[in-house]
Amino acid sequence: MASLNRVSLIGNVGKDPEVRFTQAGDPILSFSLATTETWDGKNGKQEKTEWHKIDVFGPLAKALKSYITKGKKLLVEGKLTYDEWTDKEGNKRTKATIKVSGYGSNIILLGAPGEKREASEEPKPKFDPPGSDDSDVPF
């Protein structure tokens, strides 16, 4: 039986990405992504933000490095990985990372290009071209 390791997140980039390179010269694009959950609790509106480390590899990293910026809303699809190491004090440490590389991995930029919209902004009114009034339709 096959297995599946797939993560899909929609959130906002926490800071501008860092670019580093493998020994072979391939780019790795790294950034943090914030996902926020809100709910009504006993003390009013509650909110919790989770931070996710994202690493993008290969051609996708090269293509996206000039498009991903702090605050940009993204859909990220990748696989969950864990890195383990021992720190200087001898403590075992673990870090979870979403790796975006290969088949089934993707990043989609959400929102209009250059859009910086606040949640409290009023939606723009719908434009009705002249002659689109349905009041003279006989049925």
Percent of the chain surpassing pLDDT 90: 64
- Specify if 2 maps to a domain: no
Range of the domain at 42: 7-136
- Specify if 45 maps to a domain: yes
The pLDDT tens digits of the residues spanning 15-44 come to 999 999 999 999 999 999 999 999 998 888
The confidence score (pLDDT) of residue 49 equals 95
The confidence score (pLDDT) of residue 129 equals 46
- Specify if 88 maps to a domain: yes
- Specify if 83 maps to a domain: yes
- Specify if 1 maps to a domain: no
pTM: 0.74
pLDDT band at 127; cut points 50, 70, 90:
very low
Indicate the average pLDDT of the chain: 84
CATH of the domain at 64: 2.40.50.140
Residue 69's contacts (CB-CB under 8 Å, 6 or more residues apart) are 13, 16
The confidence score (pLDDT) of residue 84 equals 94
- Specify if 122 maps to a domain: yes
DSSP the chain: ------EEEEEEE-SPPEEEE-TTS-EEEEEEEEEEEEEEETTEEEEEEEEEEEEEEHHHHHHHTTT--TT-EEEEEEEEEEEEEE-TTS-EEEEEEEEE-STT-EEEE-SSTT----TTPPPPPPP--TT--GGG---
Distance CA 93, CA 69 (A): 29
Number of structural domains found in the chain = 1
- Specify if 99 maps to a domain: yes
